[in-house]
């Protein structure tokens, strides 16, 4: 029997975990940005062109969005004051929820402090120990954690495999079932096969829930996301998540969908009931951003042109890309050390591209996650591709360069 004096302390556990990360080249360091100006950031005294953010439409610094934030803050203050069901719900929250629901063609919407909270809320309010949640293997960590914390049986299917999804749903024929998937996958940039998954959900009587954090604002007609791109509606996808902190440039998230389901979340979801509401000023800023995203279609058009330009030039110089037509363009590096070295070389050339390593991605699948924004110009894209090719050739040996130069589609 272990005595209390023999129990390892937290210091040993933390030190061992740190040593393991260092041995695997997987330590992570926060970088402090002192100023943002369009697509440029000042980091540690250096101006870098940012290719690793999620400000896809370039709205985070738009004067109308910033003015809305400042104006509302001057009148309503800086904070949300309390939870929505106590005294924190403001008419600005109502206005934003109505605008989001109208844009995404759904009956209702409900605001949350973050996408992580929203996913926790959805799965924990719908599932219990007798339920099953079936998920794509590459879903965001928040969906996986939400299912685990709900106590349900979590089953995962091979990436983008509807047949795998139906096999997993059949493994537990009784009890509530939720089929959950990202709409646009955050590390690969590809779209989920939503039409096929909708058919699977219908046949198996499962609720299809789509986390469209990286789709809303970017893909689909009028930027309404991957659900609209797949020509689906609330009947097929009763709930979807729209983040407010990526294409819309702000902070927070909303769950949009069936009115009865949204009402259920508002009354039962612990991450909604027991947390402070978004500041009204932040809601006002996002409301302005949504209106811009709906009306200024040129932002999406420019973004799509930049994506095509990047892919064309990157494949010409033999960079390894994945099958993505979204602003998320992974450049595959393989080994963790290669991803780190290439990222450092790019920074020396004036470009900020973050290396993505396990456990965020699978072993041997380290990459540079290039993300494009309407704030970038054609020359920015061309310069980045040249810098990527130079970094690859400088870091890899001649034999390795020849191997890497085979494009992957």
286 is in an annotated binding site: no
243 is in an annotated binding site: yes
Question: Residues with Cβ < 8 Å from 20, sequence gap 6 or more?
Answer: none
Please give the full DSSP string across 285-330, using - where no structure is assigned: HHHHHHHHHHH-THHHHHHHHHHHHHHHHHHHTT--B-S--SSEEE
140 is in an annotated binding site: yes
Tell me if 120 sits within 8 A of 142, measured CB to CB. yes
Cα 173 to Cα 396: distance, rounded to the nearest angstrom: 51
89 is in an annotated binding site: no
185 is in an annotated binding site: no
At residue 253's C-alpha, the angle toward residues 56 and 328, to 5°, is 30
360 is in an annotated binding site: yes
Bond from prior residue into 376 cis (ω within 30 degrees of 0): no
Beta bridge partners of 108: 257
Dihedral sign (CA 81, 86, 88, 90): negative
Listed in order, strand segments (DSSP E) in 149-308 are 153-157, 177-182, 207-211, 239-243, 253-257
Tell me if 201 sits within 8 A of 230, measured CB to CB. no
28 is in an annotated binding site: yes
Q: Give the chain's radius of gyration (CA, Å).
A: 22
38 is in an annotated binding site: no
- Binding positions: 28, 115-116, 140, 186, 214, 243, 360
- Binding positions for substrate: 28, 140, 360
- Binding positions for pyridoxal 5'-phosphate: 115-116, 186, 214, 243
């Amino acid at each position: 029997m272990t005595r209390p004096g023999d129990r390892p302390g937290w210091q040993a556990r933390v030190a061992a975990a740190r040593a393991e990360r260092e041995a695997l080249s997987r330590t992570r360091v926060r970088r402090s940005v002192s100023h943002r100006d369009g697509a440029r950031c000042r980091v540690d005294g250096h101006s870098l062109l940012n290719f690793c953010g999620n400000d896809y439409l370039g709205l985070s610094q738009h004067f109308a969005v910033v003015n809305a934030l400042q104006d509302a803050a001057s009148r309503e203050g800086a904070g949300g004051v309390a939870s929505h069901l106590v005294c924190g719900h403001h008419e600005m929250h109502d206005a934003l929820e109505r605008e989001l629901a109208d844009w995404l063609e759904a009956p209702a919407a409900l605001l949350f402090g973050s996408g992580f909270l929203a996913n926790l809320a959805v799965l924990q309010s719908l599932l219990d120990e007798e339920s099953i949640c079936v998920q794509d293997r590459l879903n965001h960590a928040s969906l996986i954690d939400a299912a685990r914390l709900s106590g349900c049986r979590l089953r995962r299917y091979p990436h983008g495999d509807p047949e795998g999804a139906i096999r997993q749903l059949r493994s537990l024929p009784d009890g509530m079932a939720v089929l959950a998937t990202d709409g646009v996958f955050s590390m690969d940039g590809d779209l989920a096969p939503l039409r096929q998954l909708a058919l699977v959900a219908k046949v198996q009587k499962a609720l299809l829930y789509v986390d469209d954090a990286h789709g809303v604002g970017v893909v689909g007609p009028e930027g309404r996301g991957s659900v609209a791109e797949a020509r689906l509606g609330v009947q097929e996808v009763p709930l979807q998540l729209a983040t407010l902190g990526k294409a819309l440039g702000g902070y927070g998230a909303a769950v949009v969908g069936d009115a009865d389901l949204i009402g259920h979340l508002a009354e039962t979801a612990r991450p909604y009931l027991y947390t402070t509401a978004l500041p009204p000023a932040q809601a006002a800023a996002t409301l302005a951003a949504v209106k811009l995203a709906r009306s200024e279609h040129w932002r999406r058009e420019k973004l799509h042109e930049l994506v095509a330009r990047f892919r064309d030039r990157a494949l010409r110089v033999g960079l390894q890309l994945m099958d993505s037509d979204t602003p998320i363009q992974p450049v595959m590096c393989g080994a963790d050390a290669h991803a780190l070295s290439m990222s450092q070389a790019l920074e020396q050339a004036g470009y900020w591209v973050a290396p993505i390593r396990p456990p965020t991605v699978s072993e041997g699948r380290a990459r540079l996650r290039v993300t494009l924004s309407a704030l970038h110009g054609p020359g920015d894209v061309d310069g980045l591709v040249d810098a990527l090719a130079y970094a690859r050739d400088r870091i890899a040996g001649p034999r390795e360069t020849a191997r890497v130069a085979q494009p992957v589609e």
